[in-house]
Each structure stands twice: as C-alpha cells, then as structure tokens.
Amino acid sequence: MAPAPSSTNSAVTLNINGEKHTLTVDHRTTLLDALRERLDLTGTKKGCDQGQCGACTVLLDGRRAVSCLQLAVAAEGREITTIEGVAQGEKLHPVQQAFLDLDGYQCGYCTPGQICSAIAVIEEHAAGWPSAATDDVRPAAAPPPLTPEEIRERMSGNLCRCGAYVSIVQAVARAAGIETEAAQTEGVETEGAAA
Amino acid sequence: MREFTYQRALDVSGAVALLDADPDARFLGGGTNLVDLMKTGVERPAQLVDVRELPLDHIEVTGDGGLRIGATVTNSDLAAHPEVRGRYPALAQAVLAGASGQLRNMATIGGNLLQRTRCGYFADVTKPCNKRVPGSGCPAATGEHHNHAILGASEHCVATHPSDMGVALAAFDAVITYETIDGPGELPLAEFYLPVGDTPHLETALPPGALITGVTLPPAPVAAHSRYRKVRERASYAFAIGSIAAALDARDGVVRDVRLAFGAVASHPWRARTAERALVGAPADAAAFAAAADAELAAAKPLPHNGYKVTLMRNLVVAVLTELAEEAAR
Amino acid sequence: MTTATTGTRAVKASVGTAHTRVEGRDKVTGTARYAGEIPFAELAHGWLVLSTAARGRIRSIETAPVLAMPGVLTVLHNENAPPLDTDYMGMLGKPDPTAAVFQHDRVPHVGWPVALVVAETSEQAREAAEVLAVHYEQEPHDIAFSADRPDAYTLDGFSPAVTEKGDLEAELGASATVVDAEYTTPEEHHNPMEPHAATALWDGGRLEVVDSNQGTTWVAGEIANMFSLDPGSVRVRSEHVGGGFGSKGLRAHQVAAVMAATVLQRPVRVVMTRRQMFSLAGYRSPTTQRVRLGADADGRLRALDHSSLSATSTVHEFIESSAGPARTMYDADAHHTANRVVRLDVPTPTFMRAPGEAPGSFALESAFDELAEKVGIDPIELRVRNEPERGPVSGLPFSSRNLIACFREGARRFGWADRDPRPGVRRDGRWLLGTGTAAASFGAGAGPSTAAVTAEADGTFTVRVNAADIGTGARTALTLVAADALETTPDQVRVRIGDSDLGPAMLAGGSMGTRSWAWAVTLAADELRERLALNTGVPPEGITVRSDTTAAIGALSQKERHSFGAQFAEVAVDPATGEVRVRRMLGMFAAGRIVNPLTARNQFVGGMTWGISMALHEEAVRDRATGGHYGADLAGYHVAAHADVPYIEADWVDDVDPEDPVGIKGIGEIGIVGAAAAVANAVWHATGVRHRNLPIRPDRVLTAGGHA
C-alpha cells in the first residue's frame, strides 16, 4: 500500500532499466523492497536483508550494489539496472546465457544477484581493478588475468547455498571469454519444453 | 525501524548545520553499516542526512607526496586508484580484503572509519551490551568471545573494530579531517578512537555533529613496500580474526624503517609501536621479527577462548615481515 | 480429432542426456516467481514476534500501543488466536507444535513465536513488531549440550535407536588395534537463500496458501489437520522454491498467515527474516559421537561401536540418527549402534541434508582413517577388506553396492596410488598439503505418488505430478523421464508441479522425490502410450491417464537399497595462521540411473560443497547466559563462499538395479555424506593432527599445533 506524503515519506522518481517510475516511498523502504513490493520487479531477491548474501545485487550507475542496504529515497537520480533489464529483448545477456547453458544455479534464488554481480565483475576486471586474489596490486604490475581464483574472490559476495559455485565460476569464465577446468557442456540439449 | 525524515545535503556546511540541529540525526553515507543497524534496531535515528553526494569524492596527491582522500570516496575507488596502489599497496589490499565487491562500491571512507563493531552482543538488541546500552553489562567475557579483543580492552567491553582499511591507515599515520558548525578540525588516527575504559559507548574523539570530510596520508616511502594480510574463518567475505598491515624498509639485512598495525585484536586499529621501536636498527630476520612481536603482544590480555590470537598475530608479524624482507633483498 | 504421433517414430533417449533446466530461462531473467513474489490485491504484511526468554511464561503482551500505530491491522497472540489441533499423524508423523502458534503461554526457548503483527506495509509491521512489549515470567533454562548428560535417552527415529549384535567388549579386547575416539559436530542451519515465505487467502470458500515448501501435499495436509479443515478445501502452491534442504515443511509462518487471513479476511503474507530462520526453520542438532573400532592386524573389523547423542526441544522429539551409517557401511563380529537424545530449552531440530548420515559419516569415516593409520593399511584397502556381503544389521542383500568401484575409479582419477601415507611431509610455500578419502552411502527409497499424463489434441503432452523442484532439477528430470516413456522429445512435454490440487505425491526429501515422482509419471505415461498405440485419435480435451504407485512401492522386495560413493579431497593448511583451504575434490558415486547428467553433476557437487562448508565453516553458536544464538545471521553463520570452493569433480559409475522400474536412486544428499570426513582426513594428512571437532576453524588448527 502506498503511504500518503508526510515528513517521513517522499515522492521519488526512480530510473530503473531505462524507465522512470514515480512513487511515494516510506523513507524506511529499501530499494529492494521498492522493487519487489511496489514496482513488481521481483527478479531482485531478498536473501538476508542485511548485506550478507548478495541475492539483492543490482547495478547502480553501472556498479554492483546490494539493494537491501540502499534506501529507495536515496536512490533517486541514479541509474538502476535490475536482472529484468539485463537482456536485450529476447536475447539473453552472455552471462545469462552462460548460466543457463552451464547450469550455473540450482534453486535459482541467488541467480539474479549472481548474474548482476558477474556482469560487473567482468567490467571491473576489464577496467583494471585488482582484487584480494591479485598478487601484486601495484599499477606497475600487469593487470591480473581473470583466473578462476580471481573470479571466485570477486564473486564471493554472492552466496549460493545450493553449492553451485563450481558451475557459476565456469559460467562467468565463459561469459568473459575464458575456458576453465572441464566446463562440461558437450552434448547438452538446450532448454525447451512445451510452453 | 522507526520512521525518519530524510534530507540530502548539497554541501558540507549545509550537512553539518542539518545534523547539528538534531541530536537524533545521523549522516548517511553508503548505508552499508547504518541501514543494517537500523534494521536490527541498534540505531533508531529520527533524521538521516544523506552526505553521499557531497563533493568529497576525490583522491589527490598532496604537494609533499602524500595523499588526500575525500570522505565520500568509495572503498572501490580507493582500492582501484593507481596512486593508492602504487604508494600504499597495503591500503589497497586492506580495502580489497574487506566485505564484497557490492559493499565496497557502496561504502565510503568516512563511513568505514565510523563503522560499529561486529560483536554479536552489540548487534542483538535482546542481549546486554555496554557499548549499545551503557551499564547493561558485557556478556562476551564469560560468553562467546573467540573473535574478541586481546589488546586494549576493558572489563566493560572486549569488542573489536572491524575495519580492514583502518588498519592500513593506522600504519601510515593517517589524519582525519572533519567539519563542524564551528569550522574544520583534524585528528590523527592515533587519537581518533578513544580508549575503551568504562565508556565503550564513546568511540571516537570527533566533536558532536562533526562530519568527516577526508583522510590525509602523509608521505611514507616505506609504504611502497607494504602488505596487508587478513586471516578469517572463510576465504573471503568475512571479518578478520586477525590481520596485519606491514611496511618494511630493510637494507643490507638491517631494518631502516617499519610500520606495523594489527586488526581484529582491539577496539580500534592497533598500531604496534612497541614492535616498531624494537625493530628499527635490528636485523631483518625472523628472530628479530618474532622478538618484536612478542614485545608488542606482551600487553595482550587474552580471554579463555581467544588466546590463539596472540599466536596468530605473532605468526603474522613474522610471516609478513619475512616476505617483505625477502622481496627487499631480491 | 488429431492423431497422436507417439510411438510411431524413433526418438533419441532423453534420459541420460544433459539437458538445461526447462525453467532455466525464467530463472536467469528473474521472471520465475517465488512464494513471496506473487502479487495480491489488498495484501497485508505479517511480522512474527519471537520470544527473548529461554524458558517461562508470557505474563502479558501490551497490544494497545501497537494497535494504535499507523497501518497496524491486528496483533495475534496466545489470548486471541484461533485454536489449533496438533493431535494427528501427518505425512512424517506427529507435528512439531512449534508451528501451532499462539496456543498457550508457555515459552520453551528463545525464538519461540509469541505474536504476529499485521499491518498494511512491511515497514509498518516490522516497526510495530519491534516495539511490541512482551513480558515474561522467566525460569532458569538449560541449553548445555554435552556427552555426559545423565538425562539422555535412546529414541527411535525413522530407524530403531539401538542395534546390537555380538559381544562388543570381548571383541574389542581381542582386537590387535583399537580406535576409540569422540567426535563432535555443531548446530548447523539449512539457510536456504530464499527465506520461508507464505501468503494465505480465502478464495470462494477455499483456503489458498502460496508458499515455499518441499511438498505441497505434505503442507496442505498439515494445514488441513491443524485447522480442522476438509482436505479438499485447502490448496497449497509452491512453484519455485529457493532451496529447502529439509527446512521447508510446515512452519510457524504459514500457520500464522492462515490465522491472520482468516481473522482479517484478506490476503496476508508472512516472511521470515534471516535471523528468525535461525529459530523457526529447524536446524541440525549438534552431535557428540563416540566411535570404537577394533580390528585384527589385517584390518578386518572385529568390533564396531557407534554411539551418538543429539539434542531436541522440550516440545517435540526429533533425533539426528548419526549412528545409522554404520548399519549400512561396515560389518563386525560385534556391531553396536545407538542414537540418544537430550531435551533442552532450544528449538526443535529437523531434517537437514543427509540427516544422520552427514554428521554420522564424519565420525565413522574419520575413525576409519584413524584405524587405517594405526594398522598401517591404505584407507581404501581397509575399506575393501571390510566390504560386507549383506546388510551388517539387517542381513538383507544389497540391491546393488558399487562402493568399491567408486573407490577404484576415484583413486585412479585422483592419483591416489602416488600418495605418500606419512602425514605432515608435503609443503607448497606456506602451505602444508594433504589428501584424504572417505566413503559415502545414502538410502534409496520411494514414497507413494500419483500422476496424470495427458495427450493433448495438438500432439503435445502435459504431465501433472505434485513434485517440488527445490533446485534439484526435478522439473527437468521429470520432463526427460516422461519424454522417454512417451517416446517423444522433451519439447513436446510440459510438466506441471508444485500444486496440491495436482493430487497426492511424495515430498522432496530423503533423496526420494525424483524417484517417487518419476515412478508415477512412468506408470501413467506407459499406459497412455499403450492407449495411443491403438490409434483411436485424441479428442479435443485430450486423453488423460492417471497413476498411483502405492501398490507398486508396497510390492518392492525387502533389500538394502542405497547409493554409495567415494570422496576425495586435497587440502592446504597454513600452520602459521590455521587457515585451511580445499584445493580440489573428487566424488565418484554409484547412485542408480542418472537422468540428467548436467543437473545431477550439479547436485553431487552441491552436496560436496556442503561438505566443505560443514568441515570448515558452519557452526551456530548459542549464548549460555540468554539461551539464544550469538551471531544469528549470514555474517555470523558462515557458509562456504565462492572463494572457499575449488574446482570439484563429480562423476558416477554404472549402478543398475534390474528390479527397479525406474532405476533412479536419488542424488540430493549423498554428495555431503563423507565429504567432511574426507576434508578432515586430508587435514590430518597435511598436518599430522586429527581434528575431531567441526568446524576445523583457524583457531582450532592453531591451538592444536602439529607440524609447522
């Protein structure tokens, strides 16, 4: 239910996946809850609501962030991309396609967060950002290759309780154009059942 | 979470004025700690003043070769900055060792310094905690404390400061700059965090209503040869059980300059000055490193279940300084 | 009328071919809707209030100030809640009364549900729940779990508490080598990524619950029983489930939501917070286990004694049957196993991925490694020498037992033959390296299910079976099974699951789900294919055939039916910091027919990942003073993160049970069995120190010392 305007709520315009949404939010409402409860954008998941699991990862101004600790009112003016805005129409984003092809999930609940995070990981790496897995962070050192170890460290803010990490890492690597250990994909039939 | 008013500050003086008018107000930076604490009921502000968009998001090399880091610089931008990575690699490593990519994109330098302890008693409003409710007691000493302080704590509080970044800042003599309604001020990091004593709820020497505007790092050639090592209970995305920021200048097998700071062992990032003093002029070898660590850790007062931290910190000092010494000798 | 094409063309077998998930596109685009994500007009939000007292009574609840808060619609508690019935037998026995909320003023543990606040928005409900003042009359509590509890008692679970044969003390006395060790595992929590969520509403005289659970037949039955409703008037839907691992059955949130929807006559959603899940969602009890093994000089067992103690609440009996694996794995002249429990002022534990087997295999398979060390026999050879002909306790034949094949193939791939058995002698920089192995088994069962398969007029097929896909890939597996049974391709088959209106079916549990549902689907599809072969054409409404496997399952011969596996791990241990990293893992399994290699491999690897997590990370800590948890969230309770999990290889050997009509054994749980022991055994091999208490935290490694 939408709150009435008062000193503890505000009318905001949120720019989500290129579309503007104007709504009145209780200041307490997080971006995550605004997406899920108010805008019917339920692809962004609530796993812990405390910044401890990464399921609610979205892109804010192109950078990954946990939407559970982002107040909706404070997100005004920022460019918000959710899992719903990642594909180009019917064509999946390469990260989405790799998750699908390599079974980079099980229950699927952490998946939108993993995918949003992975998209950003590939961009952060391309921008030359080091990670905690990078041996030498000095700019004089060559930028680290995106090894499985680098992917694991950079993706560690996204918990997957089903334990699909191995295939998630393979999917991120494939989307980044790197082949890792035994990505078991030979002879995989693609999705498809009667609608 | 109670209802609150929200205002976005447009400039520093406006932000400070807004907060000064309301003792129940808080500055909102990245929100990674404050919003969580509001959800758990630890913080119940009546007003939030959003300072994230203040023009304090620059990193500059100072005239003397140090660095000036704005308070709203995100952890990510700090760790990715070439001048940080080149001049103070341990600082970049410390930031990268903290939290997750998502949180580092949100968290700000000012907020990082002010983040609250991750002690499970503090974070749970159904339990006593002197830091949260002065005088309510500290259950940690007789309860769960395997990741609590061994240095500088008191019977009133044995919580640790969770920052990784702060450990590197402590090693490099950072100075915190702030603004109050009466004008600007500054505090060396060494004086920024208050001793625990019997007032664990009073954490910093910032004047009431002050807004952190930045951190200045003085030039430190030794910092170019520095490293941050963090030990935690999983390989990533966890708070430290012990960490170390170390920098070493050793020539001809002798320590010329050294910086050492410990994380996750005290209520604030712990500058190991005793060890540093013992090391300057000493041989750059494992025996000297161990002796220096022992000198520092002689002051440790471990609880029944966190005595391992004494061993851990001693081993970290030896391991990391040895690595740095070997690299210097190459 | 159209003519069905089934049975008239040669179609490539789908079972056994890797196939991406049929709902995969929905999952990667965020369009798959989970329980808390389906919109309803006039939806109200419920927020549970949990007890902060560990034992006592509710003296009073100050509802008036909360009812005056903005948006608050009602507060339900023990003085105004509708009465519930808990005196019934559900699908898994008597219900845990924890779910029967607000029925009395007794408080049996911290985190006991004492009220539900319902408001227009979740923000309003949360704040109202936070300020609701509940006053307790507190009594001293007892949460001290230890091996020497005098009030522990034996308790039958789904298997007998105690099995005994032979004279244990005599055989131990006659043994050349004896291992006698105590192992402990901590309280562990499922923590599925999707918190438990339910929306309840009354619609045209029927109660509908949109939920996240592991079986809507199960949950609908529990709700009908508890609210004394006609079973036909309760519909529970659960289309996508964000993980369960045993925790998603009937819980307080569904019952509270139904109560509130009934009182308010509007849809009410109740979602657990992550912190609340630690009290309300069940968990795996801590265990202390003593294992005694006595062997001849050649390693053959004379004596095996496995005794386990776990905890339960004061309101319900649940036992973690950790002494169970020995009844399948190894025989001995004297063979004793016993499961005991102690009642404490804690929440009721429940099934958690491989209940009994996960902690039990840690103790038993660690003890076997200790025996191998003591008798100087390779751990794999020791297991070969102790491979039983028949069930050690039951005396029944095994339907198939390919454990040794798993070890042989696993050893080949892992490079076991080159292993130097000496501990503490391999180094890579600051890391000590070691390898370890352990055996695994898990029961292969099936539960009665119904299914309906329809040949549609357009030539496609619709399968209706009330399965639950909690991430296992069941929906896809059933599509493949149906396609083969119907001699068609998967793209011609749509599978409907997760709705109690589809008819009774087994829940997703005990690694029995896919086998049970596939059986029902196969029966119906086989008959439908025969009907279609008559070439009478398909009417516009289609042709539907229904099945019920109750009789077929009842007719199965008595045998020891299990999956088996061999786990291998390589670890690195930094003796200076106590850090342990798993460098690689391999699991070889004999787990029946593998329906979908793509998702099956993921299931095995997922289980093994749980094994890493169990070995190194997971531990819920209770605060003695308050009786509640310390650090009940995902920052305090560590599950393995990406950086903890290396490349893990899982594969399988042929494992055919010719008697079984579907050939599936179930793969959801065996991956965790033995995995923690393999890691712990590798830590010993790296350092020379045995770690008998999980998790193997850095402080424990540092304190234990060893080769540095």
Tens digit of each residue's pLDDT (9 = 90 or more) over B33-88? 999 999 999 999 999 999 999 999 999 999 999 999 999 999 999 999 999 999 99
Q: Quick check: is A1 in a domain? A: no
Q: Quick check: is A101 in a domain? A: yes
- Residue A1 has a pLDDT of 52
A71 and A100 housed in the same domain: no
* Mean pLDDT score of chain B: 97
Size of interface A-C (CB pairs under 8 A): 230
> Does residue C167 carry a pLDDT above 50?
yes
- Residue C3 has a pLDDT of 41
A27 and A71 housed in the same domain: yes
> Does residue A195 carry a pLDDT above 60?
no
Cβ–Cβ of A130/B85 closer than 8 Å? yes
A59 and A107 housed in the same domain: no
- Which CATH number characterizes residue B21's domain? 3.30.43.10
In chain C, what residues touch A160 (CB-CB under 8 Å)? 193, 642
Measured CA to CA in angstroms, residue C106 lies from C95, C135, C226, C283 at distances of 18, 12, 19, 22
Q: Quick check: is B285 in a domain? A: yes
Contact (CB, 8 A) for C191 and C273: no
Cβ–Cβ of C123/B1 closer than 8 Å? yes
Mean pLDDT of C176-199: 98
Out of B41, B124, B231, closest to residue C698 by CB: B231
> Does residue C657 carry a pLDDT above 90?
no
Q: Quick check: is A115 in a domain? A: yes
- Residue C184 has a pLDDT of 98
pLDDT in tens, C28-51: 999 999 999 999 999 999 999 999
The Cβ-side half-sphere exposure at C265, using a 13 Å CA radius, reads 2
Contact (CB, 8 A) for B171 and B149: no
pLDDT in tens, A43-55: 999 999 999 999 9
**Cα angle vertex C13, ends C7, C14, to 5°?**
110
Mean pLDDT of C585-594: 97
Cβ–Cβ of A1/C461 closer than 8 Å? no
Cβ–Cβ of B233/C644 closer than 8 Å? no
Cβ–Cβ of A103/C36 closer than 8 Å? no
Out of B146, B231, B237, closest to residue C577 by CB: B231
Q: Quick check: is A147 in a domain? A: yes
pLDDT in tens, C348-368: 999 999 999 999 999 999 999
Enumerate residues 6+ apart whose C-beta is below 8 A from B168: B88, B90, B91, B93, B94, B95, B226, B228, B245, B261
Q: Place A3 in a pLDDT band, splitting at 50, 70 and 90.
A: low
A110 and A140 housed in the same domain: yes
3-state secondary structure of A98: helix
Domains and CATH numbers, chain C: 24-32+447-554 (3.30.365.10), 356-444+556-708 (3.30.365.10)
Q: Quick check: is B82 in a domain? A: no
In chain C, what residues touch A163 (CB-CB under 8 Å)? 605-610, 613, 640, 645
Min Cα distance C670 → chain A (Å) is 14
Contact (CB, 8 A) for A103 and B64: no
Q: Does the structure's ipTM exceed the value 0.95?
A: yes
* Mean pLDDT score of chain A: 92
Cβ–Cβ of B242/C638 closer than 8 Å? no
Q: What proportion of chain B, given as a percentage, has pLDDT over 70?
A: 100
Q: Quick check: is B300 in a domain? A: yes
pLDDT in tens, A60-79: 999 999 999 999 999 999 99
Q: Quick check: is B220 in a domain? A: no
> Does residue A182 carry a pLDDT above 60?
no
pLDDT in tens, B266-278: 999 999 999 999 9
Q: Place A189 in a pLDDT band, splitting at 50, 70 and 90.
A: low
Q: Has this prediction a pTM greater than 0.95?
A: yes
Probe site for chain C from A82, A106, A117, A147 (most C CB atoms < 10 A) = A106
Nearest to C71 by CA among C129, C119, C117: C119
Q: Quick check: is B218 in a domain? A: no
Hey, is the C-beta of A6 within 8 angstroms of any chain C C-beta? no
Q: How many domains does chain A have?
A: 2
Min Cα distance B215 → chain A (Å) is 21
- Which CATH number characterizes residue B243's domain? 3.30.390.50
A35 DSSP 8-state letter = I
- Which CATH number characterizes residue A117's domain? 1.10.150.120
pLDDT in tens, C69-116: 999 999 999 999 999 999 999 999 999 999 999 999 999 999 999 999
Probe site for chain A from C21, C214, C642, C647 (most A CB atoms < 10 A) = C642
Residue A161: give the domain boundaries. Answer: 94-175
Mean pLDDT of C163-189: 98
Low-confidence ranges of chain B (pLDDT < 50): none
Tokens, residue C366: 């660690």
Out of A8, A28, A157, closest to residue B103 by CB: A157
**Cα angle vertex A151, ends A146, A153, to 5°?**
125
Q: Place C158 in a pLDDT band, splitting at 50, 70 and 90.
A: confident
Enumerate residues 6+ apart whose C-beta is below 8 A from C512: C445, C446, C447, C506, C666
A101 and A126 housed in the same domain: yes
Probe site for chain A from B100, B112, B227, B234 (most A CB atoms < 10 A) = B100
- Residue A187 has a pLDDT of 54
Interface of A with C in 57-76 (CB under 8 A): none
C284 DSSP 8-state letter = B
Element holding B170 (H helix, E strand): helix B165-171
Q: How many domains does chain B have?
A: 2
Instruction: Give the pairing of strands C334-343 and C301-312.
Output: parallel
Mean pLDDT of C327-346: 98
Neighbours of chain A (3+ CB pairs under 8 A): B, C
Interface of B with C in 206-245 (CB under 8 A): 231-239, 241-242
Q: Quick check: is A4 in a domain? A: no
* Mean pLDDT score of chain C: 96
In chain A, what residues touch B164 (CB-CB under 8 Å)? none
Out of A50, A65, A74, closest to residue B102 by CB: A65
Q: Place A142 in a pLDDT band, splitting at 50, 70 and 90.
A: confident
Q: Quick check: is B258 in a domain? A: yes
Contact (CB, 8 A) for C477 and C519: no
A80 and A98 housed in the same domain: no
Q: Quick check: is B270 in a domain? A: yes
3-state secondary structure of B300: coil
Q: Quick check: is A2 in a domain? A: no
Hey, is the C-beta of B185 within 8 angstroms of any chain C C-beta? no
Nearest CA in chain A to B47: A8
Out of C193, C472, C610, closest to residue A47 by CB: C193
Q: Place A186 in a pLDDT band, splitting at 50, 70 and 90.
A: very low
Q: What proportion of chain C, given as a percentage, has pLDDT over 90?
A: 96
Biggest CA–CA distance in chain C, Å, is 79
A71 DSSP 8-state letter = B
Query: Which residue type, as a one-letter code, is found at position C44?
Result: A
Specify which residues B69 forms β-bridges with.
Answer: B59, B215
Q: Quick check: is A53 in a domain? A: yes
Instruction: Give the pairing of strands C268-271 and C44-50.
Output: parallel
Hey, is the C-beta of C643 within 8 angstroms of any chain A C-beta? yes
Interface of A with C in 137-176 (CB under 8 A): 148, 151-153, 155-169
The Cβ-side half-sphere exposure at B47, using a 13 Å CA radius, reads 18
A110 and A166 housed in the same domain: yes
Q: Quick check: is A194 in a domain? A: no
Q: Place C6 in a pLDDT band, splitting at 50, 70 and 90.
A: very low
Using CA atoms, how far apart are residues C392 and C411, in angstroms rounded to an integer? 25
Mean pLDDT of C152-177: 96
Sheet strands (E) in chain A: 9-16, 19-26, 57-60, 63-66, 79-81
Nearest to A1 by CA among C531, C39, B60, C670: C39
Residue B22: give the domain boundaries. Answer: 5-50
A38 and A68 housed in the same domain: yes
C381 is catalytic: no
A98 and A167 housed in the same domain: yes
Nearest CA in chain A to C632: A48
Nearest to C507 by CA among C360, C656, C657, C666: C666
Q: Quick check: is B17 in a domain? A: yes
pLDDT in tens, C272-283: 999 999 999 999
Neighbours of chain B (3+ CB pairs under 8 A): A, C
Q: Place C9 in a pLDDT band, splitting at 50, 70 and 90.
A: very low
Cβ–Cβ of A74/B52 closer than 8 Å? yes
A135 and A75 housed in the same domain: no
Out of C430, C624, C638, closest to residue B319 by CB: C430
